[in-house]
Amino acid sequence: MTRVLTAAAIIAALLVVLYLPPIAFALVTCTVLLLGWREFKALCQELSVGIVAVPGALIAIAVAASFAAGPEMAVIALLIGIPLLALMTLRNHFGDPVGLSLAGAAGMAGIAWLALPLGAQIGIRYEPDGAGWLLFLYAAVAVGDSAAFYGGTKFGSHRLAPALSPKKSVEGSLFGISGSAIAGAIAAHWFSGMSYAEGALVAAVLGIVGQAGDLIESALKRAAGQKDSSGLLPGHGGILDRIDAHLPAGALLYAALRAGWLG
């Protein structure tokens, strides 16, 4: 029941924020990024990697927020932010080459894994019919995630990636892709103007990419010896546990929209 109530609260808040002015979505997304960076830092600490905390979070937020002004501004933010992050990392690990290398790599990974994909979602909100495209994204990933969980629980017998996430199964993955496709077909009719077949295909691809994002976070948690990224969301774990699949899927959707492949 706790898990259901938390999910209902998240969905209600998301629906409200999506249809407020885009700046509201950008502010909420940057808050999510701040919380996610905090969890990422804690997981890195479990691996004895000390990434910069406050400066790193501020740089990540600046990179993500810059997507509101378009991809060109995001490139400028990266060109400024990455050297600053490197300097802050050097300051914290001066005289420790191994620590510097690990912290530097982890910091850059945090920008690539969190700031850029969440920034891409901010960018989507500023696209024509951006709220509809985000609903399409969230429906495809969330329905796929639920279908994978319940399908895998009931029918799963072949492990998908036992070294990364022992509970995930090939059967669950197939159920997840099917669930994403069904959600995409429905969402395409209501939000994006695509045909049912196009919506199903796009959503299935987003679902597959989302599953890869889930495995990435599972690998990080497994390496850090943690079941959840935090206990922030009752019944759901942490922020990273909720957004892991949406990160690469959102980045792919933004790239497709900017390239003119959709819309």
Domain positions in the chain: 2-259
Question: Token pair for residue 76?
Answer: 């400028």
Q: For the segment 82-99, what is each residue's pLDDT rounded down to a tens digit? A: 999 999 999 888 888 898
Report the pLDDT value the prediction gives residue 3, as an integer from 0 to 100.
65
Name the least confident of 7-11, 70-74, 250-254.
7-11
Q: For the segment 137-150, what is each residue's pLDDT rounded down to a tens digit? A: 999 999 999 899 88
Report the pLDDT value the prediction gives residue 168, as an integer from 0 to 100.
87
Q: Which helix (H) or strand (E) holds 91?
A: helix 71-92
Q: For the segment 76-135, what is each residue's pLDDT rounded down to a tens digit? A: 999 999 999 999 999 888 888 898 899 999 999 999 999 999 999 999 999 989 999 999
At residue 213, φ and ψ (nearest 5 deg) are: -65, -40
Question: Token pair for residue 113?
Answer: 């894994």
How far apart are alpha carbons 137 and 204 in whole angstroms?
11
Is pTM beyond 0.85? Reply is yes
Report the pLDDT value the prediction gives residue 165, as an integer from 0 to 100.
80
Task: Confirm if 121 and 69 have CB atoms less than 8 A apart.
Answer: no
